[in-house]
Chains A and B, each alone.
Chain A
Amino acid sequence: MNSFLSAQNLKFSYINNIEEPPVKTEVLHGVSLDIKKGEFVALLGHNGSGKSTLAKCFNAINIAEEGKVYSCGLDVSVEENLLPVRQRVGMVFQNPDNQIVATIVEEDVAFALENMGVEPKEIRRRVDEALKIVGMYEYREHAPHKLSGGQKQRVAIAGILAMKPQVVLLDEPTAMLDPSGRKEVMKTIKMLRDEMGVTIVLITHYMEEAALADRIVVVDNGNVVMDDEPKKIFSQVERMKELGLDVPQVTELVYGLRKEGVELPQDIITEDECVEALLELFKEN
């Protein structure tokens, strides 16, 4: 077991107790997935594919019905592991407004540490550190509702970072942000991985964000259907469309050009690569 997050033949169902008899909907049908330490994985899938459900299995919010889930070597189904797992595997959600608890930025960042029973002096130190990492230290005494969306989301990330997690799960953290807020958050996420070695699992609908990952896992209908590096995933444009997903705009462009007979490599996923390939092509002609 050398993987960091690991799901083995994981099955999960939501049970609707309001109906009589209760209605059971199986969302994950035996997912197996291994994520290595320090990896940056993007989790893709259309709405209702089960990607959020899968992510929530890794921090013991959802407990698997069948199969095993290990996070940082801990079995998440064991009651005593609940808090240790949640401390090691932090989670950031889509709506920044709904995950901020306190009325002052620094108090919110301290929330998790207060729950963990950390000494006040240590809380102070870790709160300041986390706020500096996300670049929100100057705003520590502000009221969260006066911040922009991107800033709020960075505060939410700081609240998770203060726990010193080894993994951060992000469930569409940029979906409600404007382009500049999105950029801020993505920069922060990249920094976490590059400078702090935090393992990242990013759920997103923006293919440009997914292209930054080391690896893309596509979930469809409660099963992992594709699992590879971004270049290999995005070069299968037709397969992605079949799954109701997009590819980055440049990939789409290259795909169209190739169809028209322009000789370009298939695995272009960033703008820079595209520019380079086009320049190369012009030089040749």
Chain B
Amino acid sequence: MLKDITIGQYFPGKSVVHRLDPRIKIIITIAFIVMLFVADSFYGIGIGVVFVLGSFLLSGIPFKMMLKSIKPLLPILIFTGLLNLFFISTGDVLFEWKFLRITTGGATTAAFMIIRIVALIIGSSLLTYTTSPIALTDAIERLLSPLKKIKVPVHELAMMMTIALRFIPTLIEETDKIMSAQKARGADLETGSFMQRAKALVPILIPLFVSSFRRAEDLALAMECRCYHGGEGRTRLKQLRTAPRDYVALFTTALFIVLVVLADKML
């Protein structure tokens, strides 16, 4: 059951979006988020939505996946929607019952906020759907590399992320094993009050921690044996290279931002 967890939610593919340089993809995603927050009219946000839906179509990721990415955030969406709906009281009153009062201003703001958040989720999940975790880490390392000058341990952080990603499946498998072992000795993990169940997790977490430390020691040794000595003088197997399509994508994004600003101002 634990094995089904996928972290990063990467969907391998060969579309244009997949093939974009991960650094460019991160920059575009940030630009897109800015675009959404700059927009303050339905026209502006509409252009943002067109942008993200267009990218989604290009990526060839099934539509179902888009819905799936929104699902876990549904409670937040509903909460934000209701909050805006009931507590903003500008414009004409549409509906009134006891202390509840819905106004046109509230309704439009609620709709606006929901569209903005949905677009935000789709945009950022598109990044993780089309970029492998390792490429993402790599891109983050390179985008942040100027920070090395002010002594931010960028390489070490990226290495930690890579190792964490690498060990997630291993540790999940291990947790499964420990759980079975403890169940075989009569541990009860499923029944009882919340506190009892929380306590039952202790005999699972402790062996997991102990074995993680052992793994860490082994790994450190194996890394040393393979000449690891930090990020200094390191080269990479896969060089990140920007292709013309990356510039086209950047240009298109810039164009959309301009469009959003213009749409807000003019209409």
Contacts and interface: CB of A to CB of B under 8 A. Distances in A.
Interface of A: 59, 61, 83, 86-87, 90-91, 93, 95, 97-104, 106-107, 110-120, 123-124, 127, 143-145, 156, 159-160, 163
Contact of B235 (A87, A95, A119, A163): A119
A59 B166 contact: no
Interface string B88-106: 0000000000000000000
Contacts of B238: 107, 120
Nearest to B226: A112
Across the A-B interface, give the 5 residue pairs with the lowest CB-CB distance, nearest first.
Answer: A99-B222, A98-B218, A112-B226, A110-B237, A145-B169
Given A61-B225, A83-B229, A99 B219 contact: yes
A95 B170 CA distance: 12
28 contacts: A61-B221, A61-B225, A86-B224, A87-B227, A91-B225, A93-B221, A95-B218, A98-B214, A98-B218, A98-B219, A99-B222, A102-B166, A103-B132, A107-B237, A107-B238, A111-B228, A113-B235, A114-B234, A114-B236, A114-B237, A115-B229, A115-B234, A117-B235, A119-B235, A120-B235, A120-B239, A123-B236, A159-B226
Contact of B134 (A91, A107, A120): A107
Interface of B: 132-134, 162-163, 165-166, 169-170, 173, 214-215, 218-219, 221-229, 233-239
Most B CB atoms within 10 A — which of A98, A113, A114, A144? A98
A112 B165 CA distance: 19
Given A61-B221, A107-B238, 20 more contacts: A59-B225, A61-B224, A83-B229, A95-B215, A98-B218, A98-B219, A101-B162, A101-B223, A103-B133, A103-B134, A103-B165, A106-B237, A111-B228, A112-B226, A113-B237, A114-B234, A117-B234, A119-B235, A120-B237, A123-B236
Contacts of A114: 234-237
Given A95-B218, A117-B233, A111 B170 contact: no
Contact of A123 (B221, B222, B225, B235): B235
A193 B218 CA distance: 26
A127 B166 CA distance: 19
Contacts of A117: 233-235
B235 to A, nearest CB: 5
A145 B173 contact: yes
A86 B223 CA distance: 11
A101 B169 contact: no
Chain A contact surface mostly: helix
A160 B226 contact: yes
A120 B138 CA distance: 15
A123 B234 contact: no
Contacts of A159: 226
B237 A97 contact: no
Contacts of B229: 83, 115
A254 B238 CA distance: 56
Contacts of A123: 235-237
A112 B227 contact: yes
Most A CB atoms within 10 A — which of B165, B223, B227, B239? B227
Contacts of A99: 218-219, 222
Contacts of B162: 101-103
Contacts of B222: 91, 93, 98-99, 101, 156
B225 A90 contact: yes
A200 to B, nearest CB: 16
Contact of A97 (B133, B170, B221, B227): B170
B228 A100 contact: no
A29 B225 CA distance: 24
A115 B225 contact: no
A113 B226 CA distance: 8
B215 A97 contact: yes
Contacts of A119: 235
Nearest to A124: B237
Nearest to B220: A98
Given A97-B170, A102-B134, A86 B225 contact: yes
Contact of A93 (B166, B218, B234, B237): B218
B134 to A, nearest CB: 5
